[in-house]
């Protein structure tokens, strides 16, 4: 953005520049406001805990399915897909 005026002095230019810089700072520092507001609403929703548990159970079932396929297919060929000490915390 450019400010120009015939005969503009430093004394007139500096307040405009400071106002512009403040506007830019306010805009940049306020970018995540929408996403933060949405996240707060989600976390405060009454069904949040149930939805979180359902998602965790879904992920657990997916993991167990992949693990069983790897155990059956990959390990049958003598390979090791995961370290034996790996134990997910469900």
Containing structural domain, residue 33: 9-44
Res 2: pLDDT: 75
Residue 89 falls within a domain, yes or no?
Answer: no
Q: Show contacts of 56-63: CB within 8 Å, 24+ apart.
A: 56/90, 60/88, 60/90, 63/88
Q: Are 40 and 51 in a shared domain?
A: no
Q: Are 33 and 52 in a shared domain?
A: no
What is the C-alpha to C-alpha distance for residues 38 and 31, in angstroms, rounded to an integer? 13
pLDDT tens series, the chain, 90 aa: 777 778 888 898 888 889 998 888 877 776 777 888 899 999 999 999 999 999 999 999 999 998 888 878 776 766 665 665 555 665
Task: Specify the number of domains making up the chain.
Answer: 2
Q: Are 51 and 35 in a shared domain?
A: no
Res 56: pLDDT: 94
Decide: pTM greater than 0.75.
Answer: no
Q: Are 55 and 37 in a shared domain?
A: no
Q: Are 58 and 79 in a shared domain?
A: yes
């Amino acid at each position: 953005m450019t400010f120009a005026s015939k005969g503009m002095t430093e004394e007139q230019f500096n307040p405009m520049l400071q106002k512009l810089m403040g506007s830019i700072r306010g805009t940049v520092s306020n970018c995540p406001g929408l996403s933060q507001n949405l996240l707060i609403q989600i976390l405060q929703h009454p069904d949040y805990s149930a939805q979180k548990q359902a998602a965790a159970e879904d992920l657990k079932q997916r993991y167990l399915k992949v693990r069983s396929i790897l155990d059956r297919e990959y390990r049958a060929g003598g390979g090791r897909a995961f370290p034996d000490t790996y134990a997910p915390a469900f």
